[in-house]
Amino acid sequence: MWDLASGKLLRSITDAHPPGTAILHIKFTDDPTLAICNDSGGSVFELSFKRVMGVRTCESRCLFSGSKGEVCCIEPLHAKTELRDHPITQYSLLAMASLTKILVIGLKPSLKVWMTFPYGRMDPSSVPLLAWHFVAVQNSLNPMLAFCRGDVVHFLLVKRDDSGAIHVTKQKQLHLHYDLINFTWINSRTVVLLDSAEKLHVIDRQTQEELETIEISEVQLVYNSSHFKSLATGGNVSQALALVGEKACYQSISSCGGQIFYLGTKSVHVMMIRSWRERVDHLLKQDCLTEALALAWSFHEGKAKAVVGLSGDVSKRKAVIADRMVEILFHYADRTLKKCPDQGKIQVMEQHFRDMVPVIVDYCLLLQRTDLLFSQMYDKLSENSVAKGVFLECLEPYILSDKLMGITAQVMKDLLLHYQDKNLMEDMEACIVHMDITSLDIQQVVLLCWENHLYDAMIYVYNSGMNDFISPMEKLFKVIAPPLNAGKSLTDEKVVMGNKLLVYISCCLAGRAYPLGDIPEDLVPLVKNQVFEFLIRLHSAEASVDEEVYPYVRTLLHFDTREFLNVLALTFEDFKNDKQAVEYQQRIVDILLKVMVENSDFTPSQVGCLFTFLARQLAKPNNTLFVNRTLFDQVLEFLCSPDDDSRHSERQQVLLELLQAGGIVQFEENRLIPMAEKAEFYQICEFMYEREHLYDKIIDCYLRDPVRKEEVFNYIHNILSIPGYSAEEKQSVWQKAMKHIEELLLLSPNKAADLIATHFNDQIEGIVKNLQDQFLLFQFLRSLLDPREGINQDMLQISPCVTEQFIELLCHYSPDQVLETLQVLEFYRLEETIQITQKHLLHEASSYLLEKKGDVHGAFLVMLEQLQSKLLVLTHEIEESTELDLLKDIEDTLVKTIALCQRNSHSLNQQQREALWFPLLEAMMSPQKLSSSTVLCQYSESLKSLTMQVLNNMAAFIALPSILQRILQDPVYGKGKLGEIQGLVLGMLDTFNYEQTLLETTTNLLNHDLHWSLCNLRASITRGLNPRQDYCCICLQQYKRRQEMADEIIVFSCGHLYHSLCLLSKECGIETKGQMRWTCYKCNSSNKGGKLSENFSELKKGNGASLAQSSSESLLDSQQIQAFDQLCQLYRGTSRLALLTELSRTRGGEKHGLLNVSQGDAALNSVFQNENFQLHLAPPPLTEE
Spatial separation of the C-alpha atoms in residues 1146 and 219, rounded to whole Å: 97
Distances (CA, A) of 986 to 81, 950, 980: 120, 15, 11
Provide the percentage of residues in the chain whose pLDDT is more than 90: 8
Average pLDDT of the residues in 1158-1167: 47
What pLDDT is attached to residue 1172? Answer: 57
Q: What is the mean pLDDT of residues 1082-1098?
A: 52
The DSSP letter of residue 99 is: S
- pLDDT at residue 1089 greater than cutoff 50: no
Whole-Å CA distances, 162 to 145, 158, 165, 800:
21, 14, 8, 102
High-pLDDT (> 70) share of the chain, %: 83
Q: Torsion angle, CA of 623/626/630/633, rounded to 10 degrees?
A: -30
Q: What is the pLDDT of residues 169-191, one digit of tens each?
A: 888 889 999 999 999 998 888 99
**In this predicted model, what pLDDT tens digit does every residue of 910-962 receive, in sequence order?**
888 888 888 888 888 777 765 544 555 566 777 778 888 888 888 778 877 77
- Report residue 96's pLDDT band, with 50, 70 and 90 as the boundaries: very high
| Cis peptide bond upstream of 109, omega within 30 | yes
Angle 820-902-845 (CA atoms, 0-180°, nearest 5)?
25
In angstroms, rounded to a whole number, what is the distance separating the alpha carbons of residues 782 and 789? Answer: 8
Between CA 976 and CA 967 the distance in angstroms is 13
Mean pLDDT of 477-488: 83
Q: Which segments of 814-879 does DSSP mark as H helices, in order? A: 818-824, 830-839, 843-853, 856-875
Output DSSP code: residue 1180. P
Mean pLDDT of 647-668: 70
- Residue 581, exposed/middle/buried by CB under 10 A (0-12, 13-18, 19+)? middle
What pLDDT is attached to residue 139?
80
Residue 1078: closest CA among 1038, 1049, 1109: 1049
Q: Are 204 and 212 in contact (CB under 8 A)?
A: no
Let me know if 84 is exposed, middle or buried by CB neighbors in 10 A (0-12, 13-18, 19+): exposed
Counted residue by residue, the chain has a size of: 1185
pLDDT in tens, 661-696: 666 666 666 777 777 777 777 787 888 888 878 888
Residue 1052: its pLDDT value, please? 85
Characterise 1069 by phi-psi region: left (phi > 0), alpha (psi -120 to 50), beta (else): beta
DSSP 1018-1067: HHHHHPPP--S-SB-TTT-SBTTS---TT--EEE-TTS-EEEHHHHHHTT
Indicate the pLDDT class of residue 77, thresholds 50, 70 and 90: very high
Find all residues with CB under 8 Å of 361, minimum gap 6, and list them.
373, 391, 394, 395, 398
Mean pLDDT of 956-971: 75
| Average pLDDT score over the chain | 80
Higher local confidence (pLDDT), 418 or 663: 418
d(CA 550, CA 536): 6
Span 244-253, average pLDDT: 88
Span 700-745, pLDDT tens digits: 888 888 888 888 888 888 888 888 888 888 888 888 888 888 888 8
pLDDT for position 1169: 57
pLDDT at 1109: 31
* Range in 222-231, 284-293, 561-570, 1135-1144 with the lowest mean pLDDT: 1135-1144
pLDDT digits (tens, 9 = 90+) for 849-874: 888 888 888 888 988 888 888 888 87
Q: Can you tell me the mean pLDDT for 487-496?
A: 85
Mean pLDDT of 902-916: 85
Contact status, residue 614 vs residue 627, Cβ threshold 8 Å: yes
Q: How far apart are CA 26 and CA 1115, in angstroms?
A: 84
Between CA 399 and CA 434 the distance in angstroms is 6
* Cβ atoms 152, 173 nearer than 8 A: yes
Task: Tell the burial category of 537 from Cβ atoms under 10 Å away from its Cβ (0-12, 13-18, 19+).
Answer: middle
Higher pLDDT, 591 or 645: 591
pLDDT at 1098 over 70: no
Q: What is the torsion angle, in degrees rounded to the nearest 10, for the CA atoms of residue 394, residue 395, residue 397 and residue 403?
A: 140
Per-residue DSSP letters for 255-314? EETTEEEEEBSS-EEEEEPPPHHHHHHHHHHTT-HHHHHHHHHHHHHT--SS--S--S-H
**Confidence class of residue 264 from pLDDT cuts 50, 70 and 90?**
very high
Range of weakest confidence among 113-122, 125-134, 192-201, 972-981: 972-981
10 Å CB burial of residue 709 (0-12, 13-18, 19+) is middle
Question: Is 550 within 8 Å of 557 (Cβ atoms)?
Answer: no
Q: Is the pLDDT of residue 1105 over 50?
A: no
Q: Contact 84/71 with Cβ under 8 angstroms?
A: no
Of 129-138, 200-209, 815-824, the least confident: 815-824
* DSSP summary character for residue 163: T
Instruction: Tell me the backbone φ, ψ of residue 683, rounded to 5 degrees.
Output: -65, -35
Residue 488 clears pLDDT 90, i.e. is over it: no
Instruction: List C-alpha distances in Å: 1164 to 48, 905, 954, 1171.
Output: 117, 12, 16, 11
Q: What are phi and psi of 73, to 5 degrees?
A: -150, 130
957-980: average pLDDT: 68
Q: What is the pLDDT of residue 193?
A: 93
DSSP character at residue 156? E
Q: What pLDDT was estimated at residue 1144?
A: 57
- Please report which helix (H) or strand (E) contains residue 34, including its range: strand 34-39
pLDDT > 50? residue 133: yes
How far is C-alpha 300 from the chain's CA centre? 43
**What pLDDT does residue 886 have?**
81
Question: Can you give the pLDDT at residue 200?
Answer: 93
Q: In the structure, what pLDDT confidence band is assigned to residue 60 with cuts at 50, 70 and 90?
A: confident
Q: From CA 652, how far away is CA 682, in angstroms rounded?
A: 8
Per-residue pLDDT, 1046: 63
DSSP count for the chain of H helices, then E strands = 48, 26
219-238 mean pLDDT = 80
Q: What pLDDT is stored for residue 462 in this prediction?
A: 87
Mean pLDDT value of segment 344-357: 81
For 541-547, the CB contacts below 8 A with 24+ separation are 541/474
pLDDT at 357 over 60: yes
Backbone angles phi, psi at 247, to 5 degrees: -115, 5
Query: At a CB cut-off of 8 Å and minimum separation 6, what does 510 contact?
Result: 570, 571, 574
